[in-house]
Structure 1
């Protein structure tokens, strides 16, 4: 059931979160107080799960208006296409990228409890050390724009993954293009997890 949540439409993610929370809560409640504890635990777990799912639904809808956004086991993933962000072999943002990131920054700055990991990725052309450094510079360029829109540095962690996490084969132009990207991984705040 949890696997279906990643591709689910808004609303289904909330239901999936509630169901998963109910299962976990029931298990915890059974350990604490038998069948009665299981019922109480299931209700509490479902409420927390629904809260997380609802939070993710709302945030995904808001972010998806600006950039491709989907739910993952880490929270939300915002995928930024490097073809639109940077010129080839460059970490200088295009005007179009600055405009997109400005909009994202305005949304993200409203949620100071979010934890955002900015990951830069490259294709496999070039040496591993060069690709790692380029991916880090690209992620840092994204971070600077978000910071300029009010996203706190304490919310953001920047990583240069280089060519180590391809999402497509590197032996075609389309595959290499897909691998050149910057991803924002947005974690659900702990307060939301607790309901």
Structure 2
């Protein structure tokens, strides 16, 4: 059987897998993402590597598709319950991650990186979510408004992000699944010339991302 025929058979086989993935009874985004990823990977593999390339591409594509198509619905529902009334916004991002945007009224007092009592229930649920989903990692990003010196704001934002990471680690989340980053006043989402705008800019963002582990 020549290479051209094998290539076509590989692509057809992956196309069948794509349909099966989309028709899965689980109805999860992961299944759909895996199928789409497999189809894309096989097509590229067939173009660049013949029949063998299609098979390899399908495997790699399925892995990537599964990661970006992670099903966040159950996690989002639990987090929504814990954050109700806090002003926290939970949104799925284009890269497949889930973002929690927690406002300053909940997180920290002015010029402080000590976690407020109102922030604890939110973080407790995040910690529980991470423990129940070992394939998920968390990136914590701190932001400030433009009041004060940029160097001070940068340090404060780092300390606040690290406080969140420390809190999660103390509740049993492995440190290697957590990262902290401070961006000071460099990424405002509102006008710093108004109090309302500054309040929006003082925030903590937690990004939850799935890793390849959930494919295993």
- State the partner residue of 1:4: none
- Larger CA Rg, structure 1 vs 2: 2
* Cα distance between partner residues in 2 of 1:169 and 1:130: 20
- Whether the 8 Å CA contact 2:67–2:210 is kept in 1: the answer is no
Tell me the TM-score normalized by structure 1.
0.76
Q: 1:151 aligns with which of 149, 156, 173?
A: 173
- Whether the 8 Å CA contact 2:158–2:180 is kept in 1: the answer is yes
SS at match of 1:158: strand
- State the partner residue of 1:30: 47
| Higher relative contact order (CA closer than 8 Å, sequence separation 6+) | 1
Q: 1:71 aligns with which of 77, 92, 95?
A: 92
Which range moved further: 114-123 or 103-112?
Answer: 103-112
- State the partner residue of 2:8: none
* Cα distance between partner residues in 2 of 1:24 and 1:66: 39
SS at match of 2:161: helix
Query: How many residue pairs are counted as aligned between the two chains?
Result: 183
Which range moved further: 131-140 or 18-27?
Answer: 18-27
Q: 1:49 aligns with which of 54, 62, 65?
A: 65
